[in-house]
Structure 1
Amino acid sequence: VYGTAEGNPSLRVGTYTKLSGLGDRFSNTYYIVRTCHRFDVQRGYETDFEAECAYLKISR
């Protein structure tokens, strides 16, 4: 998945983050594989990221 979050220096490659409120299909823990921290005059500090699903949820 790709996303943009409010600036967060702890969001970095090799860490895990939990995304929620995205429905059953996408709400999960993700492993961060790419980040770009940036500051925009209009929007402030933001972190762009790319992440891969860390755990598969299996329903039985």
Structure 2
Amino acid sequence: MSRVGVDEVRELGQNLGHLVATLAATDVHDDLCVSPLRQRLLDHRLAATEGAFFFFFFFFFFF
């Protein structure tokens, strides 16, 4: 291998190391959790008919 090839391999290794460090450092929470909100709404809702309960059930479980 020529000297140019060795430098390119070394540079590729450094770039790959930077990429792995960047990906490992990224802390993304892109999940949306509505379970606590749903439970609070169901526990503390006003007195209502079963139709309103069905609406909450349908809305929070299927959307």
Name the TM tier (shorter chain): under 0.3
| Bigger share in strand | 1
TM-score, normalised by the number of residues in structure 2: 0.17
Which of 1 and 2 has greater Rg?
Answer: 2
| Bigger share in helix | 2
